[in-house]
Amino acid sequence: MVSRLRDRPLWATVALAIAIAVGTLVDRVPTSAPQRAGEYVVLAGDFHVHAFPGDGSLAPWTLRQEAARAGLDVFAVTNHNMVFTARFAEWMASSSGGSSRASAVTPRESSGPIVIAGQEITNPEYHLIAVGLTRTVNADQPAAAAIRDVHAQGGVAIAAHPTPRFHGYDDDQTVALLDGTEAAHPVDRVSGQEEFTAFFERARRLKPSIAPIGSSDFHVSPAVAACRTLVFAREATAAGVIEAIRSGRTVAVDQFGHRHGEASLIQLLDTMPDVDRPVDTTIWRRASLVLAWTALLALLVL
């Protein structure tokens, strides 16, 4: 075996070593505690994240590490029309510390971000993010009925990427039932973000307390927390996060760095340096992965 490796190209061995070194150097997790703003603790969250098994690429334990690397304090697992993986992720995080709804510790004092079980209720007429579930919500019903089912479980209902093609939100009474709407969602053009902003402004006219939400909709790509939500919670727990969303104490940050939400909350953020700046090592981490796989392929094939 040693002799076979000696016959492999030297550049592949060197490239693999470089890839491992780069990946190790950039694989860092923020250690600072969430900042406070008066009576609130400001938590960075992503409430639209998919996991494996299901329609995401990362298992719950890996996903939690990825969320920590991105500087998140809380995230929700929201697979399409299922809650099994989300409940498992919530249980796993709770058993290791930091996700219990009764916990009084901050996420930075635990072993990772708070994890909340949820579901992306997926219907041809609407997609709805439900956060704080214990069982699956039936997707084969109108949006208004699904929202009521989410509320019956004590959860919050958030309109997912509400573009004009989702006619389930055409009715104003349905929109007024929502707790939040994705005012920031990854897009490949500014005009796409404008659609989410327009829906948020419409929803806010119908329900002034509606929470603006920034989400990544992570499956494989883009990165977790590509867009994020800053939550003004009274306590750093899952229950505290859900209460803050229900009360509309959030600011959504889109991929262009623009903030969406109540002016008074945005002004508070202006006094808190770097509170909404994501921890971005994605390019270097991806480069190290590409280099590592290239080197490994060369070692196996050449």
104 and 39 fall within a common domain: yes
pLDDT at 1: 46
234 and 292 fall within a common domain: no
15 and 45 fall within a common domain: no
81 and 130 fall within a common domain: yes
Residue with tokens 């953020």: 269
22 and 68 fall within a common domain: no
35 and 96 fall within a common domain: yes
102 and 212 fall within a common domain: yes
pLDDT at 100: 42
CATH number, domain with residue 204: 3.20.20.140
- Asked if residues 111 and 140 have their Cβ atoms less than 8 Å apart, the reply is no
pLDDT at 270: 86
20 and 88 fall within a common domain: no
* Residue 289 domain boundaries: 1-27+281-302
Q: What is the 3-state secondary structure (H, E, C) of 130-165?
A: EECCCCCCCCCCCHHHHHHHHHHCCCEEEECCCCCC
Q: Hey, how many other C-beta atoms are within 10 angstroms of the C-beta on 168?
A: 19
66 and 105 fall within a common domain: yes
1 and 60 fall within a common domain: no
pLDDT at 64: 94
Residue from 200, 150, 146 nearest 168 by CA: 146
- Per-residue pLDDT of the chain in tens (302 residues, 90 and over written 9): 445 545 556 766 676 577 566 555 555 555 667 888 889 999 999 999 999 999 998 999 989 989 998 999 999 999 999 999 999 999 999 887 554 433 333 333 446 899 999 999 999 999 999 999 999 999 999 999 999 999 999 999 999 999 999 999 999 999 999 999 999 999 877 678 899 999 999 999 999 999 999 999 999 876 899 999 999 999 999 999 999 999 999 999 998 889 999 999 999 888 887 666 555 555 665 565 565 556 666 666 66
DSSP 267: H
Residue from 81, 245, 266 nearest 178 by CA: 245
How many CA within 13 A on the CB side of residue 209? 9
Show Cβ contacts of residue 253 under 8 Å, excluding neighbours closer than 6 positions.
184, 214, 227, 228, 229, 230, 259, 260, 276
Domain count, the chain: 2
pLDDT at 284: 60
50 and 125 fall within a common domain: yes
10 and 148 fall within a common domain: no
